[in-house]
Copies of this chain bind each other. A is one copy, B any other.
Amino acid sequence: MDLTALRSFHEVCRQGSISAAAQALGYTQSAVSRQLATLETALRGPLLRRHARGVQPTAAGEALLVHAAAILARVEQAAEEVAAARTRQPGRLRVGAVPTAVGHLLPRALTAYAATDPGIRVSFAEGVTPRLLPRLRDGKLDLVVVTDYPPGLPVLDGVRVLHLLDDRLHLAVARTHRLAGTGPVDLAELADEAWVEDYAGAAAILTSACGRAGFTPRVEIETGGWMGKLAFVAAGFGVCLVPGLLVPAVRVDITICELRDPPVRAVYAALRDREADSGPAARFAAALAEAAFA
């Protein structure tokens, strides 16, 4: 069976005439006649009764006609769906990122990316690494920027992880703090300081770094989010570690000091394996790598 022949058969039944159908479809009468003959050979018997003035379907022809109509309709629908999938697909890219990447890295990546995929709208969501990766895997996000910040970077099936950069942590203190304007600072000089952390789990890097310097940090303020965290530091309630990526975004009444032998965290882009080689997510990952390198 052949779609061209089914189409001709359908039109012949509709018009009741091979000649009329040929004209309607842009064939000669003999071409359509032969198409029908081929179809009848394939289906082992006549589908039409030929008369002096036109044709009429046999019982087998009537049986076929119902299917032919359905098949042709479905073929047309398939073409429409495919066209719609093409115009739909390049519309949207959903990116999730840890907050520290949103502030600086992502805008630079978006600038580079927009030139390569002008038709694609990118949306961003903030989150922590342990929450972003499952949303990527479940299809709710198309690409995520995550870190190996404790508890670390889990390995997920079907997810491709690309290293973007190593990010040094810095010390943030109030403008009036005794260490403001100095540096590089040894962590050991901070043994008696009060620390501000956003949640107890995130303090693991701090704890291990201070451990290496010979002391346990005294976390006096636990608060949610960088806004709150930096507000307490600015007010003099304590000090905190800040990733290099965040340094350009720090408020004016806070001073950043470099640390001697600072803790380092790695930053990654993660996307689904099957989208890792081509498509909008892959191109955005390339733009991120470019932005990270600069």
Contact = CB atoms under 8 A, between A and B. Distances in A.
Nearest to A84: B63
Contact of A44 (B70, B78, B83): B83
Contacts of A88: 59
Interface string A164-179: 0000000000000000
Contact of A64 (B58, B60, B82, B90): B82
- SS class, residues of chain A in contact with chain B: helix
Interface stretch (A29-37, A192-200, A227-235, A274-282): A274-282
Give how many copies assemble into the complex.
Answer: 2
B63 A82 contact: yes
Given A62-B85, A66-B278, A74-B74, 12 more contacts: A2-B2, A44-B86, A45-B82, A59-B85, A59-B90, A60-B86, A62-B278, A64-B81, A67-B75, A67-B274, A68-B78, A71-B75
Interface of A: 1-3, 43-45, 47, 49, 51, 56, 58-60, 62-68, 70-71, 74-75, 77-79, 81-86, 88-90, 274, 277-279
